[in-house]
Amino acid sequence: MYNFFSTIYKGLRLLWAQLSWSAIAWMRQREIATIHARLRDEYQRLGQAIHNAWQANQPMDISSGEMALALRQVDFLLDEIRHLEQSLAQDRQQFFHAKGLTPQPPSE
């Protein structure tokens, strides 16, 4: 009888841990999606700056001005997305390890 309740307890613990992790992961994925939206805005801003320079028949100087700012912002956002995705994977392992559970492979 003890094994039955122990199994039920472990199953409920695993279910609760998975639900908790799902909530955490969802919030972090929303953060990553927000950064992706900002990245699209920066790409649009960069394209607009290039188009404006092309229309005005000006040289496209990417070392200063609006284009340089947009390029730096794009690099920053790409690094931030990469960092958050790696952090999410590491945090998932630590979350389940701290609870003494083996995480299931993430579903794509």
pLDDT tens over the chain, length 108 residues:
778 888 888 888 888 888 888 898 899 999 999 999 999 999 998 888 888 888 888 887 777 777 888 889 999 999 999 999 999 888 888 877 887 766 666 655
In this prediction, residue 99 carries a pLDDT of 73
pTM: 0.70
How is the chain classified by DSSP, letter by letter? -HHHHHHHHHHHHHHHHHHHHHHHHHHHHHHHHHHHHHHHHHHHHHHHHHHHHHHTT-----SSHHHHHHHHHHHHHHHHHHHHHHHHHHHHHHHHHHTT-PPPPPP-
In this prediction, residue 76 carries a pLDDT of 95
